[in-house]
Amino acid sequence: MAKRAMWNHWEKRSTDEKKEFVELFANNIKAAYIRKSGSRFGERMISLMEKQGNKFAKVQVKLIKKNEEEVSADFFLLKENLEWKIYDVVFEGVSIVRNYCRQINSFLDKSSYEELVQKLKQNQNK
């Protein structure tokens, strides 16, 4: 997900920068979508549909919140080295990767990679 979110800026980064960005990106996702579970995720998750090919899969789920409100989510997976990895999650039609990609690329068009890292670190410390 981190690589896809950084899009064309990914190849410009060194191996160490990529590792650092992946960690910061993962922490940012955890803070935004997992730790704040009450607002994003439901109390229950119901699998609606699974579609799997050789290398790609899609899992559609319904999340039911405490107030019985239902939220849809689609998980997109990629098979690498016999292991399935999530490469995007779409909540109510909004792609996490596409959303972060727009934000990151807009930021990098105006600022440096180092400033992006600083901002992600600041967000992580909140």
Q: What is the pLDDT of residue 114?
A: 94
Q: What is the pLDDT of residue 20?
A: 94
Q: What is the pTM of this model?
A: 0.75
- Contact status, residue 27 vs residue 35, Cβ threshold 8 Å: no
Name residues whose C-beta falls within 8 Å of residue 16's C-beta, 6 or more positions apart in sequence. none
CA 72 – CA 91 distance, rounded (Å) = 6
- Using 50, 70 and 90 to split pLDDT, how confident is the model at 41? low
pLDDT in tens, 81-121: 999 999 999 988 899 999 999 999 999 999 999 999 999 99
**Is 100 buried (19+), middle (13-18) or exposed (0-12) by CB count in 10 A?**
buried
Domains and CATH numbers, the chain: 2-125 (3.10.450.710)
- Using 50, 70 and 90 to split pLDDT, how confident is the model at 76? very high
The residue length of the chain stands at 126
